[in-house]
Structure 1
Amino acid sequence: MAKKKSFPLRIDPDLYKIIERWAQDEFRSVNGHIEFLLKEAARREGRLGGKKKTQDD
């Protein structure tokens, strides 16, 4: 498994609360959920090696 890069993240407290609740709903840690959301966004935009989704997908 590749080593993960650590870095500080500054985030709006209200947004953090939303992500924290969302992560709990998905049985993920906040860190894991943020990584999941970023990967999904990168995949959607065709930047993660996958096919870029269109509105028809």
Structure 2
Amino acid sequence: MTIHLLQHIIFTIIVRVIIIALVTQMTVHHHLLIQADVMAVVAGEIKKSPFMQRAFDDLR
């Protein structure tokens, strides 16, 4: 139980760091449409990852 919670917290931090990096890159370079597409693809890949599926299953 504690391990699952710790994994979830670490994964959440990693996802937030990735999103912050993408948003920072998006605002710095002003390629809004291209970067939005990249963010959508990254978000799709994160949702498809087995770890994310387990995290969602644990939340249910």
Does the alignment reach a TM-score above 0.5?
no
Q: Shorter-chain TM-score: what band?
A: 0.3 to 0.5
Task: Give the number of the structure with larger relative contact order, counting CA–CA contacts within 8 Å between residues 6 or more apart.
Answer: 2
Q: TM-score, normalised by structure 2?
A: 0.35
Calculate the TM-score normalised by the size of structure 1.
0.37
